[in-house]
Amino acid sequence: MGILEKIAQIQEELSKTQKNKATEYHIGLLKGKLARYRRELLEPQPGQGSSGGGQGFEIAKAGDARVSLIGFPSVGKSSFLSKVTNTKSEAANYEFTTLTSVGGILEYNGAEVQIVDLPGIIKAAAQGKGRGRQVIAVSRTSDLILMVLDATKGGEQRQILENELETMGIRLNKERPNISLKSRKLAYLDEKIVSALLKDYKIHNADVLVRDENCTIEDFIDIINDQHMSYIKCLYVYNKADAVSLEEVDRLAREPNTMVISCEEDLGIDDLKEEIWRQLDLVRLYTKRRGIQPNFDDPMVVRSQSTILQVCDAIHRDMKNQFKYALVWGSSAKHSPQKCGLQHPVHDEDVVQIITK
């Protein structure tokens, strides 16, 4: 029996098993086996690269952050890419116009954000249909996923795409479960199910600490498969707003992490750019030299919660070895300038001067 058949068999058994206190142990084991088989399905075949993208499919990362466009064929991903970048990705009213990854750069607030238009995926993408596995493998490298949806199709597309990403180990708008190394009273996990799941994965010696008493069996299975999991922010973008009623636009716009646009009528594009910037949570810094004013037209862009150490690494990999102290002006400084060490956290639009030995 192949992996796909085993997965189908477990899914059928899960659908037939009533969930209650007496069956939760059995259901937990079934979910653990299901996750293991899905992991095996994603492992590269002989001669295939580790990314799973295939030759010529992946494009090199560029800019300060990466945003991937995921959606069904012909929902407007290519049109959106052309609207916000100088890249012209072929767009048409028939399916599968985009057959490989197409990248462009969105310049916004002094930062360069790489937008990657991925081929449209279809139901059962996780099993390889429509190049779905390659598309999802590339999306793992993203800082943000834009799930582009057809507003005329309601929530059907969103549910299918969420299920495909979930199957491939991508958790949208979710943080990694807080499970590590000591013990504590639990509401949803017990020693029996934890031991059985570890045994099923051939882990016979382990220390387990669950810091969050509300962690579920599914959370624990994710931790066992931690190397194969990705936790990525997601924006749900409903295109073709001009084709639905105002009431439907209002309903969709009220959903969490959701934007409604029309590439055809150029509606909501600027608001979406602003929301992409907010979700990426990037930090702009202005570096200066002694006696010279900083160039406020050319910021350095780093990740949020970066410290002076990361700033040094971004300038030159050896700079931290020559580091003496930093002078910082801006909201992160208690006074301007503040003399800081490598662990000082920087804020958006700080001015930083690095003093070396």
CA distance 110 to 114: 13
Strands 258-260 and 111-117: unpaired
The distance from CA 122 to its chain's CA centroid, rounded to whole angstroms, is 19
| CA 156, 242, 77, 303 torsion-angle sign | negative
CA pair distance 154, 318, nearest whole angstrom:
53
Question: How high is the pLDDT of residue 271?
Answer: 96
For residue 101, the tally of other CB atoms under 10 A from its CB is 20
Sorted by where each begins, the domain ranges of the chain are: 3-43+177-228, 65-174+229-280, 282-356
What pLDDT was estimated at residue 44?
Answer: 54
Q: Which helix (H) or strand (E) holds 12?
A: helix 3-16
Question: 65-174+229-280 and 282-356: same fold?
Answer: no
pTM score, whole prediction:
0.75
- CATH superfamily of the 65-174+229-280 domain: P-loop containing nucleotide triphosphate hydrolases (3.40.50.300)
- Structure confidence at residue 187 (pLDDT): 63
One digit per residue, the tens of pLDDT, for the chain of length 357 reads: 677 778 778 888 888 888 877 787 788 888 888 787 777 765 655 555 544 444 446 688 889 999 999 988 889 998 999 999 987 665 544 444 455 788 899 999 999 999 998 887 756 655 656 566 777 778 888 999 999 999 998 788 999 899 888 888 889 999 988 876 334 555 666 777 778 888 887 777 777 888 888 888 888 888 888 888 899 999 999 999 999 999 999 999 999 999 999 999 999 999 999 999 999 999 999 999 988 999 899 999 999 999 999 999 999 989 999 999 999 999 999 998 999 999 999 999 999 999 998
- Integer Cα distance of 147 and 161 in angstroms: 8
Choosing among 3.90.79.10, 2.40.50.140, 3.40.50.1820, 3.10.20.30, the CATH entry for 282-356 is 3.10.20.30
Q: In this predicted structure, what is the pLDDT of residue 249?
A: 94
